[in-house]
Structure 1
Amino acid sequence: MYPYRAPLDEMQFVLNGLFDAPAIWQQLPELAGNIDEETAAAILAEAARLNEEVVYPLNRPGDEQGVRFEQGKVFTPDGYRDAYQAFVDGGWVGLCGDSDFGGMGMPKMLGVLVDEMGYGACNAFTLYNSLTAGAALCINAHGSDELKARYLPMLYSGQWAGAMDMTEAQAGSDLRHIRTRAEPQADGSYRITGTKIFITGGDHDLAENIIHLVLAKLPQASGLSLFVVPKLTLDDTGMPTQANGVTPGAVEHKMGLKGSATCVMNFDGATGYLLGKPNRGLVCMFTMMNYERLAIGLQGLGSAEAARQMAGSYAKERQQGQAAGHKSSGADAIVVHGDVRRMLLTINALTDSGRALAVHTALQLDVAKYSQDSEQQAMAANFAGLLTPVAKAFLSDRGLDMTVMAQQVFGGHGYIRETGIEQLVRDTRIAQIYEGTNGIQAIDFLGRKVVGDNVETLGAFITELNNRLAACADQEQAELVHHCFSDILAVAHDLNREKLTSPALINACAVDFLDAFGYALCGYYSVVMADIAKGDSQISTELRQRKTHLCQFYLDKLLPRVDSLLAQVKAGERSIMAMPEALF
């Protein structure tokens, strides 16, 4: 087994070197008094300690033991409750929460790095806190003053947990077929009746109450509404009292994430409270889902980082064969072999640049939330909308790719439980599926965010990136990325012209287009990080050399994937849609 270590030097470089986060925070009045470079460094260091010493040791035992479902109750693996209490004691669940209700009020740019550590240390445990933070975000954005005051302090403290209840057996990604009902009551509450499936953290023994955000239909309504439904009802003082008709019917037996409770949830006349406006439940839910989608991209990123560390350590100690042209008296460490180095460099390059994508997305969310300049705020919101499906899909796709590639570095030892890499593969696989499959993310990206506004947002975003490339010292490297961006824009405009006459085009080409943009964007981060590292005397020589080598590898071996992917997009939908259904 190889212990997880938070990559603090890499995180600090992205936060302070690439994006100059302290300067951004000073421009946002609500953040300026709360956070600076020293405070951020202290928070990251403490998060690293907590995840390395408390969370990581739960990873393998939790996978082996799994959650238990006994007599209608869900029990988490041994050690989870103590670790959760450590998070409660440190206020970590409310790290980015509204300070008016007990949150710490930290920027999302910092939050994504803390989340990455959690997923790198233990995917299953980290999901519990992620869902709670997302539920609090949704209530804060759409809840009445009464709902905020009642629920947010307890969610931010971690005394109560949160869950998102959308999916039903007959309604997966197509939520129009939801059957859960909400009947209005004389006191203004609603009786919620129905069954939900695949509910992460639907029930467990970590918190004293679980607050469910439930999508349901009002009588004679065509749309969906969102309701706050506590597992236990609250008394006049706001404390949990008795059961509320919210019970787990089963826990799913899954490929991975065995320490995470994925539940069938039954609502039998449970008392709920409307969140937001009637028939506008999806609008409210997507506030939570957009942040959760970024969180699931971070799951892929955290897994990739853990895989990077494991494969790198193993490759330097495992001796096997002799490398061509390498003079040695015995077997060489496999790190000297070209194919192993190819895999290790790929994992390193995509993990480093993927972290930049995550923080860049969070930067847009922070500006959209805190800026007092309406134009800047609107542009950041558009950029956040553009980047969120890319962060979710590209980072989780590459996250699985990188864990599988790391498993390949281990060879046969990667297929057995002893090394731990096979668990990482299993745990990471779901990230491509939940919170909206990556195919749906790609359709949202291309159909809504790119051609949905006639390529205006994508064009504005790429213009901003090209302006930064123009300042790079190595213009030969910068031009390679600039050329990719130009090709992406040209193809985007072609798709925009054809979208009405070829209705299947967007759906058929979306994944390839998102991947092309993701690889080009990570190429941009690689070039800019190398450019900054060359001129930054404050960073270590090792970090500077690392950025230089990874940039050149990315440009040589990974950026060319953009051309291939765009060629697939240009081929259109004809061959995809031509074969009769009966032949499948």
Structure 2
Amino acid sequence: MPSYQAPLRDMRFVLYELHQGAGLSALPGLEDFTPDIIDPVLDEAAKVCEEVLAPLNRTGDEEGCHLENGVVRTPSGFKQAYDLFRDGGWTGLASDPAYGGQGLPKSVNALVEEMICASNLSFGMYPGLSHGAYLALHAHGSDELRDRFLPKIVDGTWAGTMCLTEPHCGTDLGLCRTRAVPQGDGSYRITGTKIFISAGDHDLTENIIHLVLARLPDAPKGIKGISLFVVPKIAVRDDGSLGDPNGVTCGSIEHKMGIKGSATCVLNFDDAVGWLVGEAHKGMRAMFTMMNTERLAVGIQGLGLAEASYQGAVAYARERLQGRSLSGVKHPDKSADPIIVHPDIRRMLLTMRATTEGCRALGGWVARSLDIQHHGEDEAARQEAEDLVVLLTPVVKALFTDLGFEAANLGMQVYGGHGYIRENGMEQYVRDARIAQIYEGTNGIQALDLIGRKLPAHAGRYLRRFFHPVADLIAAKVEDEQLGAFVQPLAKAFVRLQQATGQIARVGLSKPEEAAAAAADYLRLLGLVAVGYMWVRMVEVALPKVGTDADSDGFYRAKLGTARFYMERVLPQSGALFSAIMAGGASMMDFEEAAF
């Protein structure tokens, strides 16, 4: 079984050295978050994940969740782990102190989220969904609703979910049929069925607060007729105590490919009492507060699983003896050399390492931008930060989960036949990683969002927030004696990205299918360039420290080696992506439907 250790050294490099996390305390509302406060949080999070959550990962997968007499039971050990998690204050880590939270910066919380996802993704779904529900209520709920529900969601006594999907509608939520009938006291009666509800029912908390999309009797058709309601599983009295069951029942739990320790439920709402969140018919605006945060969180899920798979693959490659090095025996005292001497094994390991560390850096940039967006004093800086987050949210969700799944597959491949065997733990990462490419909007939907909404918005303003710093770095460093070797491959890929952007802009209005045909390749191209930009910045930080006392463990030297691999072996994918984009969509759209 792989043994997970939180990559704290690299996390601190990204937080402090790359993104100047020590300066978080200069932002209003984050004054207390200096390194001497942040570091113990990261250390303790690592301890909880390594010692409590990781040991439950395989057993949770094998046991799964069970529906017994209307009650959903989580795997053995999950309830005890959740109680420890809750008692440690982890459920409210990034929540508003006004409701009992600790107000942790997103830059730090994202690293904690990665550790949780890497050690036990199924477990992480429960507090993860609760935090998403908290965010939507915090942003759009009335003072009364916030005071009623948020303190107990924040302290982990109650959990939360989001209920969007129905049997006949997934991406197209305008087809939602769940009904909300107004009552005379300001409440509503909610009736309908929701499916694929992550953490929809369980035995970890005494109540579950559902955020439900539904349609009022006078609602216009389509997406503009959707409203958002808060519906507790157990009724909550005026004094905050729990009353009777509220007409919310679990009809069944899904039997899934992965994340088996997370209960994915069919929920039936039968005249359940709920309250409107935000304005009538404006539910999608409120829900997207939650959805956008969840999309970033899902990207981190892919990152966490990639890291866990990489660690398992490296440990195995060092131990597994098989064959001899092609350049001569490396370990004459052993019956064979460890497989880490072989080029193809190194190709896989370095691909995993280069993409994982690059994504961690890119995720850190987005997280730091979120901190500036929500806490910065300068209005222009806040707007620029928000623009970058808006642009990169679909990229982080899709790229990180695609690369995470690919890394999990490579990790299993390093094990060979032993990777296909359940007892070794690697195939679970593959199964768990697969869902992240699907939920919270499939990666194809993320690509369409990028080209259809983000690129043309405000005459390309969002894209400029990314293009300008990349172009400035290239212009300043392309001829640099040491950095130039890393900047030049980025410059070539960036030119391809600019040309592809122009092509999509030209055909987007007149030939929307042509642009849509290029969407997935374009998102991947932009993502690879963004990770390449992060690698150049990381090299810029690492270069002065190579060979100094600060590099006694070889950390900075390894950064340069990993960056070199990314530039030479991963970023050149931009050429193939560019060719596919420029080829247009005729080969797929002209294909006769009957021939499929």
The question of a shared fold, defined as TM-score above 0.5 by the shorter chain, is answered with: yes
Q: Which amino acid aligns with 1:19?
A: H
Map Cα deviations across residues 129-181 of structure 1 (whole Å, 9 max, x no partner): 10001100110011111111111111110000001100000001110111000
Map Cα deviations across residues 2-25 of structure 1 (whole Å, 9 max, x no partner): 2110000000000001100122x1
| SS of equivalent to 1:388 | helix
Map Cα deviations across residues 30-88 of structure 1 (whole Å, 9 max, x no partner): 11x22011211111000000000000011011111110101111010110011101111
| SS of equivalent to 2:455 | helix
> Following superposition of structure 1 onto structure 2, how do residues 118-133 of structure 1 map, counting pairs within 5 Å?
118-133=116-131
Q: Which amino acid aligns with 1:517?
A: L
* Cα drift, residue 541 of structure 1: 3.8
Map Cα deviations across residues 384-404 of structure 1 (whole Å, 9 max, x no partner): 011111110000000000000
2:579 maps to 1:567: yes
Residue 505 of structure 1: aligned partner: 514
Residues 540 and 456 of structure 1: CA distance in aligned 2, closer, same or farther (over 3 Å):
farther
Residue 170 of structure 1: aligned partner: 168
Q: Structure 1 stretch 417-426 or stretch 322-331: which is displaced more?
A: 322-331
| SS of equivalent to 2:205 | coil
Residue 215 of structure 2: aligned partner: 217
Residue 421 of structure 1: aligned partner: 426
Which of 257, 260, 279 in structure 2 is aligned with 1:258? 260
Q: Which amino acid aligns with 2:317?
A: A
* Cα drift, residue 539 of structure 1: 5.2
Residue 288 of structure 1: aligned partner: 290
Which of 338, 347, 352 in structure 2 is aligned with 1:333? 338
Aligned counterparts of 1:167 and 1:345: Cα–Cα separation in 2 = 39
Q: Which amino acid aligns with 1:512?
A: D
Residue 86 of structure 1: aligned partner: 84
| SS of equivalent to 2:258 | coil
Aligned counterparts of 1:62 and 1:156: Cα–Cα separation in 2 = 25
Q: Which amino acid aligns with 1:180?
A: T
* Cα drift, residue 373 of structure 1: 1.8
Residue 578 of structure 1: aligned partner: 590
Residue 323 of structure 1: aligned partner: 325
Which of 567, 570, 578 in structure 2 is aligned with 1:555? 567
* Cα drift, residue 327 of structure 1: 2.1
8 Å contact 1:204–1:261 — kept in the other structure? yes
| SS of equivalent to 1:29 | coil
Residue 501 of structure 2: aligned partner: 492
* Cα drift, residue 220 of structure 1: 2.2
Which of 475, 490, 497 in structure 2 is aligned with 1:481? 490
> Following superposition of structure 1 onto structure 2, how do residues 15-164 of structure 1 map, counting pairs within 5 Å?
15-23=15-23, 25-31=24-30, 33-164=31-162
Aligned counterparts of 1:209 and 1:417: Cα–Cα separation in 2 = 34
Q: Which amino acid aligns with 2:226?
A: L
| SS of equivalent to 2:456 | helix
| SS of equivalent to 1:271 | strand
Residue 401 of structure 2: aligned partner: 396
8 Å contact 1:484–1:520 — kept in the other structure? yes
> Following superposition of structure 1 onto structure 2, how do residues 146-545 of structure 1 map, counting pairs within 5 Å?
146-222=144-220, 223-328=225-330, 329=332, 330-469=335-474, 470=476, 473-536=482-545, 538=550, 540-545=552-557
RMSD: 1.2
* Cα drift, residue 498 of structure 1: 1.6
Aligned counterparts of 1:6 and 1:26: Cα–Cα separation in 2 = 24
8 Å contact 2:387–2:461 — kept in the other structure? no
* Cα drift, residue 363 of structure 1: 1.4
Aligned counterparts of 2:472 and 2:48: Cα–Cα separation in 1 = 39
Q: Which amino acid aligns with 1:271?
A: V
8 Å contact 1:95–1:103 — kept in the other structure? yes
8 Å contact 2:387–2:465 — kept in the other structure? no
Aligned counterparts of 1:467 and 1:148: Cα–Cα separation in 2 = 44
Aligned counterparts of 2:44 and 2:309: Cα–Cα separation in 1 = 22
TM-score relative to the length of structure 2: 0.96
* Cα drift, residue 476 of structure 1: 3.0
* Cα drift, residue 246 of structure 1: 0.6
Map Cα deviations across residues 371-420 of structure 1 (whole Å, 9 max, x no partner): 22222111211110111111100000000000001100000000001110
Aligned counterparts of 2:66 and 2:57: Cα–Cα separation in 1 = 16
* Cα drift, residue 480 of structure 1: 2.0
Aligned counterparts of 1:285 and 1:564: Cα–Cα separation in 2 = 37
* Cα drift, residue 483 of structure 1: 2.9
Aligned counterparts of 2:342 and 2:485: Cα–Cα separation in 1 = 29
Map Cα deviations across residues 206-262 of structure 1 (whole Å, 9 max, x no partner): 011100000000012021000000001111211222100011000000011111000
Q: Structure 1 stretch 233-242 or stretch 80-89: which is displaced more?
A: 233-242
| SS of equivalent to 2:512 | coil
Q: Structure 1 stretch 224-233 or stretch 536-545: which is displaced more?
A: 536-545
Q: Structure 1 stretch 519-528 or stretch 469-478: which is displaced more?
A: 469-478
Q: Structure 1 stretch 324-333 or stretch 563-572: which is displaced more?
A: 324-333
Could you list the runs of 5+ residues in structure 2 that have no partner in the other structure? none
Aligned counterparts of 1:266 and 1:540: Cα–Cα separation in 2 = 59
| SS of equivalent to 2:249 | strand
